[in-house]
Amino acid sequence: MNPWFAHLENQDLQWIVSHGRGLYLDPGVSVEIRRPLLILDGQVSFAGRVRGRGAVLGLSEWFLETDETMAWSVDTPVWALELPLADRHRTDWAAALSVAMSAEARLLQPEVRDLADVEAAALKFRYVLSRLETTL
């Protein structure tokens, strides 16, 4: 769970739900994530790192406009939401995206267990899921 969600307002979350693009990934495939992606359910892995529900992947690749991407293996069926970020968000959301990338990097460290914002982030993540359920 990326603790970045704890810092988003409900209207930001609703905007993500309203404008995000749903995505399904089959298990056994390898995928390069070039745009920010919120994992709603399922699991992916790369070089021993496992990411699942609540993970935000591809932020640094998108934010830094890098050509190098990691090929994530889809371990279980993945339902995800491609975040509707456009070029203007690089400046408008620079601070928020920096916090998200920093949190994601810390979560990859094996010694990190309990980050202060994880519980609040879990509540916000559940809000996103509930909003998605009401829009389907």
Give tens-digit pLDDT for 102-112. 777 776 666 65
Range of the domain at 53: 3-135
Residue 18 main-chain phi, psi, to 5 deg: -70, -35
Instruction: Please state, in angstroms and rounded to a whole number, the distance separating the CA atoms of residues 54 and 17.
Output: 14
Q: What is the CATH number of the domain that holds 22?
A: 2.60.120.10
Distance of CA 33 to the CA centre of its chain: 11
Please give the model's pTM, rounded to 2 decimal places: 0.76
pLDDT at 117: 60
Q: What is the pLDDT of residues 20-62, one digit of tens each?
A: 899 999 999 999 988 888 898 999 999 888 888 888 888 878 8
How wide is the angle at C-alpha 69 spanned by C-alphas 55 and 37, nearest 5°? 30
- Which candidate, 9, 10, 4, places its Cα nearest to that of 36? 4
Mean pLDDT over all residues of the chain? 80
* Total structural domains within the chain: 1
Q: Which residues of 14-47 are buried (b: 16+ CB within 10 A; e: fewer)?
A: eebbeebeebebeeeeebebeebbbbbebbbeee
